[in-house]
Structure 1
Amino acid sequence: MNSKESNLEQLYDYLNDEEDARTCKAIDDKACKETPKNYFLLLVSNMLTSLGDTLSNPKTVLTWVMSYVNAPVMLISFIVPIRESGSMLPQLFIAHYIRQKPVRKYVWVLGSVLQFIAIAGIGFVALSFEGSAAGWLIIVCLVAFSLARGLCSIAFKDVLGKTIPKQKRGKLKGYTASVSGILVLAAGLFILYKSKENVGIEFYSYLIFFASALWLIAALIYANIKEFPGETEGGKNGFKEALSRLSLLKEDKQFRNFVITRSLLLCSALTAPFYVLLAQRYVGKEAYLLGLFIIANGVASIISAPVWGKMADKSSKKVMTYSAILTASLGLLIVGIIQFIPAWRDEVWLYPVAFFILGIAHQGVRLGRKTYIVDMAEGNRRTDYVAVSNTLIGFILLITGGISALAALISVEGIIAILSGLGILGAIKSATLPNVE
């Protein structure tokens, strides 16, 4: 063992509180020997893709860029639904084929390379096109990105389970989130710094090019993971399995009500781009404002996730209710300010503060619904719940994106008001759910 490997093992043992013999639950001895190296390869690769996600986030950066190149608001309404549903729906079709492969890290590598190409394509479009043409081409690139993301999502869970022991996986995600959060804040501060210059579309395009390169670097790092061949049997066609279990919606009232609640709570994700559009309309398109949005979203996630998490362990339905009320109240407040207090709508502080509060609410929605469905059932029943709900939510996202696009023909404020109304319904519906803790 060379000194580099020894230092890596020491750092791994320190981060995971390993004092004596290393424990490797749920993985074999061969994989156990490679754990320290694999641990940090996974950490760095996911840290890079998390930063890439931030620098090409549909809620902030892509909304900003599409508005900057004068893409129609109707198309901007679709970017969050496409980003979310596009990575969810294809998993049902491709999981069967991926599980036939004894080594799956290369599926993740392929997905990461395809995401690099798709995001780089968005940067090229922003640099070269304007108006509807730019909007449609960015949508095409985003569809490709989301489909590739589905590959990574499936492969990551399998590779993680084969290379990292139980009771170490949560810490790995925690460290990844912490380091990524610091990098996100650094990115926001960098954009604030650059805003002192008179930046144009070239700056935003290069920012997206940089984001795309992070997926390519991550793919090169991930390819070095030492993954031993695993099982290839038992893979079922996820789409057929999900369809066959749609009867759960009819038979299981609690699950049906949860799916309805989760659908209504999509308002927290779908509202975000329209806050950015309001800021651009009433304050301007200066780069510092984008930096403030990125920082606000990053800080909201860092400070609120632990609080919502503790609350969810006591009552996840209350977390969903409170966060839905927060989302709806904020939306109606912003619409009221714009309509009735014109002096405030031109204030720079209003929109980053609103985005920060929305970020807190969205974290509550995410943690609340994830905890609820995990606690609602066990074993195969839980797997069925997840498969069916993810399938339905993927389709519902596209439908709600279409509704938002139609509402865009009225006004941005009108969209926020409609989505806030859904949030109120979501709060009422979640309050009626039974406790599952």
Structure 2
Amino acid sequence: MSHIATAPAAVRRNIIAIIGDVAFFMLGFSCMDPTTVMPQFLKELGASPQLIGLISGLRLLVLFAPQPYVAHRIHGRRRVKPFLVTACAIGRLPMFLLFLLIWAYGHHHTLALWAFVLFSLLFIGSDGFSIVPWTEIIGKAVPSNIRGRFFGAMQTVSSLAALGAPILVSTILNIRALTFPRNYALLILLMATGLLLSMLMLLLIQEPDTPPQEDPERTFVEHLRRIPALWRNDPALRWILTTQFLLAGGGVASSFYVLYARERFGLPESYVAIYLTAQTLGAVLTGPLWGWMADQVGAVRALRVVVALAVVPPLAALVMPVAWGFVLVFACLGALGWSLWNAFTNAILSVAPPSERPTYIALQQFMNLPATLTPFIGGVIVASAGYAAAFITTAAIVSLGALSARRIPLQH
């Protein structure tokens, strides 16, 4: 952290603004966490395991599919912050309307279910349009020699902020006078408020200018035609993308950890908040370690370590004999969820030429596309073969990802 404290004032301002953005985002987003709270909400509205998986997959599809187009749209722009703020506003402000709909008409469960699906897809889709410009700003605004500690600090501070979410979730779900689904409507309101505050923090960023590009006016087709050459000529890009693809495919069981624990041990709904707390604490405690490791051993070595550890949660879920043991499983999920995102983002920024950075970022995000199918596939596996089969499938795919990470060149 001392390196961040001694950075120029403009760098420190941007670091504070970006970390504040993510902290408010995580506080709000965790109130309807997609691995704990959201599946339970959908199940109580009448959604089957297959539908829960399909909805999770659709959310990921609209998040990752636009990435190449977004990279084209911001290529050659002197500044990308206006594009970023506009995308955020389109998806986040309507969440307040979703709160009103669920509060007033949520007793019609089918209406509430599809209203939630529609508005959450709009939010996630707009978030998909914000990923590339947001990461591009980090690439321009945060020097590479402190980027690991920056990501580690972001993970810790944002996770500490998100610790408020389990308290809010537990309190609201245990208010007897607040019946279903109005209790979840209130969680949606808290989510919308956090997302709004996050967007306001983005306005504080002082974005550095992008140097003029050689071909700022290239068409989308020309942009796509450049991608095969980048794949062939850059082995670091090629193996980072392959590893990302496999890790995304390892999300078969991602929506079912909390449902499995509740059904296996007959747990009350309050355990959702306990597991969410453990998940958040896992991210808090590992942030400084990951940030230090990334700056000490390099972004690629850090990525290799984190990917190798990602096989632990599905195997631990299979053998865990007691309900409280799942606290450790969710702590590991929280640590790895953040650390994998940090590791892949830091790795792609470390190998990307500045002129092609939006394209590299977009390709890395696009490789998450298998995640659009894995929750649905997971739902099918759970319905036909049980939870254990989903966890075993996840462990096998992640193991292939760990082998792929070993092929990423250390020097670029």
TM-score, length-scaled by structure 2: 0.76
Alignment partner, residue 338 of structure 1: none
1:69 and 2:51 correspond: no
Cα 1:309–1:327 change in 2 (3 A) is farther
Offset of residue 299 of structure 1: 1.0
Cα 1:57–1:169 change in 2 (3 A) is same
Of 265-274 and 145-154, deviating more is: 265-274
Corresponding residue to 2:160 among 156, 172, 182 = 182
Deviations 1:368-421 (A, max 9, x none): 544555566766687765443433x14322233443343243144433332233
Deviations 1:245-284 (A, max 9, x none): 2355567777555544332222554533201222343456
Distance 1:129 1:138 in 2: 13
Offset of residue 235 of structure 1: 5.7
Corresponding residue to 2:126 among 148, 167, 181 = 148
Cα 1:323–1:214 change in 2 (3 A) is same
1:90 and 2:66 correspond: yes
Alignment partner, residue 415 of structure 1: 390
Cα 1:418–1:17 change in 2 (3 A) is closer
Alignment partner, residue 425 of structure 1: 400
Does the Cα contact within 8 Å between 2:102 and 2:112 map onto a contact in 1?
yes
Alignment partner, residue 305 of structure 2: 319
Cα 1:171–1:377 change in 2 (3 A) is closer
Cα 1:272–1:352 change in 2 (3 A) is farther
Cα 1:321–1:218 change in 2 (3 A) is closer
Does the Cα contact within 8 Å between 1:66 and 1:134 map onto a contact in 2?
no
Distance 2:219 2:375 in 1: 28
Distance 1:374 1:227 in 2: 17
1:191 and 2:166 correspond: no
Identity of aligned residues (%): 19
Alignment partner, residue 246 of structure 2: 264
Does the Cα contact within 8 Å between 2:61 and 2:369 map onto a contact in 1?
yes
Distance 2:125 2:275 in 1: 27
Of 149-158 and 235-244, deviating more is: 235-244
Distance 1:101 1:78 in 2: 36
Letter in 2 for 1:213: T
Alignment partner, residue 397 of structure 1: 371
Cα 1:270–1:80 change in 2 (3 A) is farther
Letter in 1 for 2:134: F
Pairing 1:13-32 to 2, within 5 Å after superposition: 17-18=5-6, 23=8
Does the Cα contact within 8 Å between 1:301 and 1:363 map onto a contact in 2?
yes
Pairing 1:236-385 to 2, within 5 Å after superposition: 236-237=218-219, 240-246=222-228, 256=238, 258-266=240-248, 269-283=251-265, 286-310=268-292, 313=297, 315-316=301-302, 318-320=304-306, 322-333=308-319, 344=321, 347-370=322-345, 373=348
Offset of residue 90 of structure 1: 1.7
Letter in 1 for 2:184: Y
Does the Cα contact within 8 Å between 2:240 and 2:405 map onto a contact in 1?
yes
Distance 1:162 1:265 in 2: 27
Distance 1:183 1:421 in 2: 34
Letter in 2 for 1:187: A
Distance 2:369 2:308 in 1: 26
Of 204-213 and 53-62, deviating more is: 53-62
Letter in 2 for 1:183: A
Distance 2:53 2:211 in 1: 42
**Structure 1 residue matching 2:255: 3-state secondary structure:** helix
Offset of residue 323 of structure 1: 1.4
Deviations 1:94-122 (A, max 9, x none): 34444576664443332232232453455
Of 199-208 and 117-126, deviating more is: 117-126
Letter in 2 for 1:203: N
Unaligned runs of 5+ in 1: 1-13, 25-31, 335-343
Cα 1:165–1:310 change in 2 (3 A) is closer
Does the Cα contact within 8 Å between 2:57 and 2:371 map onto a contact in 1?
yes
**Structure 1 residue matching 2:117: 3-state secondary structure:** helix
Of 63-72 and 115-124, deviating more is: 115-124
**Structure 2 residue matching 1:265: 3-state secondary structure:** helix
TM-score, length-scaled by structure 1: 0.73
Alignment partner, residue 92 of structure 2: 116
Alignment partner, residue 215 of structure 1: 195
Q: Which has the higher contact order (CA 8 A, sep 6+)?
A: 2
Distance 1:98 1:174 in 2: 27
Deviations 1:7-37 (A, max 9, x none): xxxxxxx99545xxx846xxxxxxx5xx777
Letter in 2 for 1:210: L
**Aligned residues: CA RMSD:** 4.1
Offset of residue 148 of structure 1: 0.9
Structure with max Cα Rg: 1
**Structure 1 residue matching 2:188: 3-state secondary structure:** helix
Deviations 1:283-334 (A, max 9, x none): 5674532221221111111222443455562634641553143244224435
Does the Cα contact within 8 Å between 1:66 and 1:135 map onto a contact in 2?
yes
Does the Cα contact within 8 Å between 1:404 and 1:415 map onto a contact in 2?
yes
